[in-house]
């Protein structure tokens, strides 16, 4: 009888320094029950990848689960896969960091489990052929990726029942295609249909049914704990696999050693299909979906998948400047490794390289403020080690746009300004607290917003007979309160943003981002210059009524003991009375612990004719003081984004937007300070 080799693997990961209660919950409803069931069937062979940081947490806080894994490894049930220790997208970090992260996890696996990984898990299955050389140097012989990767290169689904070989400069790597059919079947279909999906790969004596997917599908995804454990799906599935004479559970390594490759494959830069769709800008993602619908589901699955593709993972750096900023700051710091030295700097750099805060899809990722806070904490720790109390002003062009980014490093704070975006402040770090008060996120259009604005449900719920649906197909009810939160900004939510408006500017127009803008300074580049005493940005621009009137704006930032001083001068040929609006956007860890100009922070508010904005950050016990040389009206509101998650939609506070409004005619000059004090 011909047999199908079942290559079954699970991938376990949680964002580095994620909330402890999230880890505990994942262990309780997913990891622990999975390994408890698996321990009852030692003859069920499967593969496991667990990110290094998560395994640390399990070993420290859930030793009984760690012991279960160790027992299964020692008994021969589990083959362990390597990866980057802190779960980076390998293709986005420098070669030396890839090797260091992979070897760090390999060393941990050898020490804890007495195995040396020969297979590697690619985070989010992001593939670039340039990885082969570094994987080869780390002793890696094979990896896994979606069958979609192969289909993008022209392979038919029917031949993706084994591994292929690839090479880069003569260095070799085996490539296993993960079956989409099985990803959508396990654990969502009933056991009989799941077994049918596996045995459909029984085409030749050495055929393999290949599945390597998120462990969180087995208990953490909505509805899966009840289905997989309380209703016994996993027990019945493993028993059915072991009872079926046509299925042989096998490790990837054994299959790789004992079976010949199907052939050779050279694959394009890609990830799984959904990731390519998410990396597109909203309008392009909607067009892609239209093309799929025009083609029809069956034709797309059979033929169109080869030709109709989304973007590549690195498009997230194009789509989200906030993500690109973090990534390029990481590259800047990585280049300092040799001058700073190894040790604590390396650990924080590697944690900074974790993938989670850099992208957004069904899961929150970039939209989750705590993940970005964690990333900036590692970044600031690296900076603190790098400068060790120094006071400097430095410039770079690391973000590849040709414009200077100027950084003012003070003993207590670090400021960073971007000439490409109006000479605005894009980083405002407390070195003591390792917190970035400028870690805001712009409200922007996402493809799923169109479904919200159209009303009803996000999609029609699919009827699933004796099974459960995946999070990719779940319907979510939409009401008017959610719809009203969908607002888009036409400029990035940095600080020291310059607007020229008129007397119609008010709190609600500011909140809706539909106020009249006459100037071209809020989202346009400035010229930059700096010395150790002063940073200067300037622009010769205009006011548009719609006829253009010449206008010039200069900004100077001056390092001071507690922060920075600033001088802003605006002049124009037009003689109308206008409003100069200076906008700041500040991010906080706990918005309930804030006081603004002496009162508890509300969802929105204003101060009339004041020369200061004082914010008490009760969480960090800091006082942020923004002083002006003349009185102004200050409006503020909570900056919130609506994002998609595995549970539906999340309304997240990304910061507080402040607008200081000054009336003027022809010219205005404002001086002030932005300073930080202990409470």
Provide the annotated active-site residues. 124, 214
Write the DSSP assignment of 618-671 as a string of letters: TTTTEEEEEEEEEEEEEEEEEEEEEEEETTEEEEEEEEEEEEEEEEEESEEEEE
Q: Where is 177: in which H helix or E strand?
A: strand 171-178
Residue 219 DSSP label: T
Those residues with Cβ within 8 angstroms of residue 259's Cβ, 6 or more apart along the chain or in another chain: 5, 162, 163, 206, 208
The helix/strand/coil state of 66 is: helix
Q: Which residues are CB-contacts of 188 (< 8 A; sequence separation ≥ 6)?
A: 464, 467, 468, 469, 470
Q: How far apart are CA 610 and CA 527, in angstroms?
A: 31
Q: Measure the CA dihedral 323/324/327/332, to 10°.
A: -140
Strand partners, 497: 583
Q: How far apart are CA 377 and CA 435, in angstroms?
A: 6
Length of the chain: 679
Whole-number Å distance between alpha carbons of 10 and 80: 10
Measured CA to CA in angstroms, residue 500 lies from 84, 367, 429, 514, 634 at distances of 48, 30, 28, 13, 15
Cβ contact 585:494 at 8 Å: yes
d(CA 214, CA 184): 12
CA atoms of 399 and 586, how far apart (whole Å): 22
Nearest to 587 by CA among 330, 282, 322: 322
Phi, psi of 245 (to 5 degrees): -70, -15
Which residues have CB under 8 Å from 540's CB, separation 6+? 550, 551, 552
| Longest alpha-carbon distance in the chain | 91
Q: How, if at all, do strands 527-530 and 497-501 pair?
A: unpaired
Instruction: Give the count of beta carbons closer than 10 Å to the beta carbon of residue 577.
Output: 10
Report long-range pairs for 476-483 (Cβ below 8 Å, ≥24 apart).
476/648, 476/649, 478/451, 478/452, 482/452, 482/642, 482/649, 482/651, 483/452, 483/453, 483/455
Q: Is 161 helix (H, G, I), strand (E, B) or coil?
A: coil
């Amino acid at each position: 009888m011909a047999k199908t080799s079942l290559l079954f693997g699970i991938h376990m990961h949680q964002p580095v320094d994620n909330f402890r209660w999230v880890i505990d919950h994942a262990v309780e409803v997913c990891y622990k029950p999975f390994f408890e069931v698996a321990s009852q069937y030692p003859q069920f062979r499967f593969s496991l990848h667990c990110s290094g940081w998560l395994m640390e947490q399990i070993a420290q806080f859930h030793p009984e689960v760690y012991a279960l894994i160790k027992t299964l490894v020692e008994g021969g049930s589990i083959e362990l896969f390597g990866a980057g220790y802190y779960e980076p997208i390998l293709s986005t970090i420098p070669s030396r960091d890839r090797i260091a992260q992979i070897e760090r996890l390999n060393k941990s696996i050898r020490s804890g489990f007495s195995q040396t990984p020969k297979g590697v898990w690619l985070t989010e299955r992001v593939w670039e052929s340039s990885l082969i050389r570094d994987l080869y140097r780390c002793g890696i012989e094979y990896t896994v990726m979606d069958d979609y990767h192969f289909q993008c290169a022209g392979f038919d689904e029917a031949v993706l029942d084994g591994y292929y070989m690839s090479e880069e400069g003569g260095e070799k790597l085996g490539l296993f295609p993960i079956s989409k059919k099985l990803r959508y079947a396990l654990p969502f279909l009933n056991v009989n249909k799941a077994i049918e999906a596996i045995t459909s790969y029984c085409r030749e004596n050495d055929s393999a049914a290949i599945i390597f997917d998120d462990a969180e599908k087995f208990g953490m995804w909505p509805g899966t704990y009840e289905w997989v454990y309380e209703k016994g799906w996993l027990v019945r599935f493993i028993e059915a696999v072991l009872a079926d004479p046509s299925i042989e559970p096998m490790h990837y390594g054994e299959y790789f050693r004992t079976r010949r490759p199907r052939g050779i494959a050279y694959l394009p830069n890609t990830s799984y299909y959904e990731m390519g769709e998410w990396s597109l800008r909203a309008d392009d993602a909607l067009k892609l979906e239209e093309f799929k619908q025009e083609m029809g589901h069956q034709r797309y699955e059979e033929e169109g998948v080869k030709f109709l593709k989304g973007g590549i993972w690195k498009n997230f750096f194009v789509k989200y400047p906030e993500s690109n900023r973090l990534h390029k700051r990481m590259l800047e710091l990585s280049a300092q490794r040799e001058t700073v030295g190894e040790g604590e700097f390396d650990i924080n750099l590697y944690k900074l390289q974790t993938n989670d805060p850099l992208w957004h899809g069904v899961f929150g990722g970039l939209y989750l403020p705590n993940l970005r806070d964690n990333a900036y904490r590692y970044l600031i720790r690296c900076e603190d080690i790098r400068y060790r109390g120094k006071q400097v002003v430095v410039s770079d062009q690391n973000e590849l746009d040709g414009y200077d980014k100027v950084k003012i490093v003070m003993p207590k704070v670090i400021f960073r300004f971007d000439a490409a975006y109006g000479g605005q402040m894009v980083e405002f770090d407390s070195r003591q607290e390792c917190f970035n008060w400028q870690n805001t996120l712009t409200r922007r259009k996402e493809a799923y917003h169109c479904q919200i604005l159209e009303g009803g449900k996000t999609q029609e719920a699919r009827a699933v007979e004796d099974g459960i649906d995946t999070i990719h197909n779940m319907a979510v009810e939409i009401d008017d309160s959610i719809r009203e939160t969908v607002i888009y900004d036409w400029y990035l939510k940095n600080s020291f943003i310059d607007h020229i408006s008129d007397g119609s500017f008010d709190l609600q127009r500011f909140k809706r981002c539909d106020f009249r803008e006459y100037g071209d300074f809020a989202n346009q580049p400035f010229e930059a210059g700096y010395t150790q005493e002063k940073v200067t940005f300037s622009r010769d621009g205009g006011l548009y009524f719609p006829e253009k009137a010449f206008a010039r704006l200069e900004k100077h930032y001056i390092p001071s003991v507690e922060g920075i001083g600033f001088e802003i001068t605006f002049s124009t040929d037009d003689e109308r009375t206008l409003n100069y609006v200076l906008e700041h956007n500040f991010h906080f860890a706990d918005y309930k612990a804030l006081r603004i100009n002496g009162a508890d922070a509300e969802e929105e508010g204003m101060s009339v004719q004041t020369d200061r904005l004082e914010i008490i950050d009760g969480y960090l016990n800091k006082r942020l003081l923004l002083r002006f040389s003349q009185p102004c009206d200050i409006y503020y509101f909570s900056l919130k984004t609506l994002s998609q998650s595995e549970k539906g939609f999340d309304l997240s506070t990304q910061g507080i937007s402040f607008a200081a409004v000054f009336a003027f005619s022809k010219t205005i000059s404002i001086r002030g300070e932005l300073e930080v004090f202990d409470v």
